[in-house]
Amino acid sequence: MDIVVCIKQVPETNDIGWDPKTGTLIRESAGGILNPNDKNALEAALQLREKHEGLITAISMGPPQAEDALREALGMGADKAILLSDRQFAGADTLSTSYALSLALKKIVRFDLILCGKESSDGMTAQVGPQLAELLNLPQLTNATEIIINSNSVRIKQKLEDGFRILKTSFPALITVEREMNQPRIPPMDSIMEAYREKDVLVWGVGN
């Protein structure tokens, strides 16, 4: 069971500033953290690997400092990490981000699942996962609160406004994860240190 987890570095909201003249957030004033909902997606991947083995690849698009979010993912237990970073990516909207991710994922030889957090804490559009599935021509199961793997299919419990329903599809597929699915693990300090000292983050730009 090989799984790709899409993650994003988002501003630490406790540190972010506000420009009263423009009415916009001053992102440069905030530190970056791994998007909380993406931690749920990564935790779901880790739990699936515990049951079904396989490889977990974390991928992100952002500036060079977004590497820290990938290092955290490696510390939590991801096997590989890829950062899409290039000046030409600056200011990308959700569709551009999804397109860049789709091109990168086409370079990965094989995966069974792509897991995404339902939404990021800074944008809250919930668009990247579904757009990515469309670009890759993959079936998508959204708003999952539970994932169950069978020999040749995946089933989720999907959260609805008035309850839940069960959805099923074949591999490969993309799933977006609700925050209530799990409680992400806190990696021990030695795992974080190992992620910084001994593990590599592949950096791909436009030329790749």
Q: What digits encode the pLDDT tens for the residues 18-44?
A: 667 776 556 555 578 999 999 999 999
CB 82 within 8 A of CB 204: yes
Domain that holds residue 87: 3-8+35-204
Q: Tell whether pTM > 0.85.
A: yes
pLDDT at residue 149 greater than cutoff 70: yes
Per the structure, the count of domains in the chain is 1
17 in a domain, yes or no?
A: no
99 in a domain, yes or no?
A: yes
72 in a domain, yes or no?
A: yes
Q: Find the mean pLDDT for residues 175-179.
A: 97
pLDDT at residue 15 greater than cutoff 60: no
pLDDT tier, 125 (very low <50, low <70, confident <90, very high otherwise): confident
pLDDT tier, 109 (very low <50, low <70, confident <90, very high otherwise): low
Provide CB contacts within 8 A for 102, sequence distance 6+.
Answer: 132, 135, 136
Q: Cis omega before residue 130 (within 30°)?
A: no
CATH code of the domain covering residue 157: 3.40.50.620
Burial of 37 (0-12, 13-18, 19+ CB in 10 A): buried
Q: Find the mean pLDDT for residues 150-173.
A: 95
Place of tokens 């440069």: 28
144 in a domain, yes or no?
A: yes
Q: Which helix (H) or strand (E) holds 85?
A: none
Helices 94-107 & 128-136, crossing angle to 10 degrees? 50
- CA 181 vs. chain centroid, Å, equals 15
29-82 per-position pLDDT tens digit: 557 899 999 999 999 999 999 999 999 999 999 899 999 999 999 999 999 999
